[in-house]
Amino acid sequence: MASSACGFAALVKALDDLYHWHCDSKTLSILSRLGSGSACRSVWQGFVHWKKGEDLAGMDSYGVPLADSWPELCIGLCIVESGPKSINSREAMQRTVQTSPLYATWPEQVKQDLQKMLRAIRNRDFQMLGETAEENAQSMHKTMHASCPPIEYDTAATHVLKQTIKKLRKKDISLYFTQDAGPNLKLLFLEKNSATIQLYFPEMIIVQPFQS
């Protein structure tokens, strides 16, 4: 689901153990980010805030773990394709920045969405968390699709999943999705709805980040 993020975080931790660097978590986060931006968050479990930083060299860009816990929060992994992506994330990002007319407004939306997410986590406001995550993911994919040539990750199976999620919401089942640069989805829901949602997504893998 996020091979570069977990891979580089694991690699940096392994190198730290092998060479006895004795790096603190912040340093490991900075080193992980050199391989993959998202990897800076994968050094920790739970909620992590990625500080973008201002240094052009990126040495002040790292993850900061949040103290907040949310035991009832569930993430459902819906994997529709496990093979290589049609275009890798780095190339997709470069093309989007260089050619998408929608990219100019994207950084500001990210800034606003981040504040919404932090409030949602702090207040355990699941509706705000779900709506913000889903809207942000859809805006990201629209921004990529406006690139030249367009970047399209959704497959027929991805569309079916999204339509099912929206239909369930109309039945007052609180369920949202988020999506990285790829066709797979992560579903967001609360533990009390877990059994019902599993009926509609039997292949879904359920993860509860705050429960061992």
Domain of residue 52: give its range. Answer: 3-65
Q: Are 145 and 102 in contact (CB under 8 A)?
A: no
Instruction: Give the residue from 49, 65, 81 where a domain finishes.
Output: 65
At 211 the pLDDT is 86
Describe the strand order of the beta sheet including 73-78 as a list of residue ranges: 176-178, 185-190, 73-78, 205-207
Are 98 and 172 contained in the same domain?
yes
Q: Does the residue 212 lie in any domain?
A: no
Are 32 and 51 contained in the same domain?
yes
Are 109 and 61 contained in the same domain?
no
In order of 151, 182, 193, the CA distances from 87 in angstroms are 8, 9, 35
At 89 the pLDDT is 86
Q: Which two tokens stand for residue 48?
A: 């992590």
Residue 132: pLDDT over 90:
yes
Are 24 and 102 contained in the same domain?
no
At 176 the pLDDT is 98
Closest Cα to residue 188, out of 124, 131, 120? 131
Q: Does the residue 90 lie in any domain?
A: yes
Are 139 and 186 contained in the same domain?
yes
Are 80 and 20 contained in the same domain?
no
Are 104 and 47 contained in the same domain?
no
Residue 1: pLDDT over 80:
no
Exposed/middle/buried for residue 195 (C-beta within 10 Å: 0-12, 13-18, 19+)? exposed
At 48 the pLDDT is 97
* 86 DSSP 8-state letter: S
Are 164 and 183 contained in the same domain?
yes
Q: Does the residue 155 lie in any domain?
A: yes
Percent of the chain with pLDDT over 70: 99
At 58 the pLDDT is 85
Least confident stretch, 1-5, 169-173, 175-179? 1-5
Are 114 and 130 contained in the same domain?
yes
Tally of structural domains, the chain: 2
Are 58 and 109 contained in the same domain?
no
* Helix pair angle (126-145, 106-123), 10° resolution: 160
Q: Taking residues 48-63, report their average pLDDT.
A: 92
Instruction: Give the residue from 65, 84, 111 where a domain finishes.
Output: 65
b vs e for 154-192, b when ≥16 Cβ sit within 10 Å of the residue's Cβ? Answer: beeebeebbebbeebeeeeeebbbbbbbbbbbbbbbbee
10-22 pLDDT, tens per residue? 999 999 999 999 9
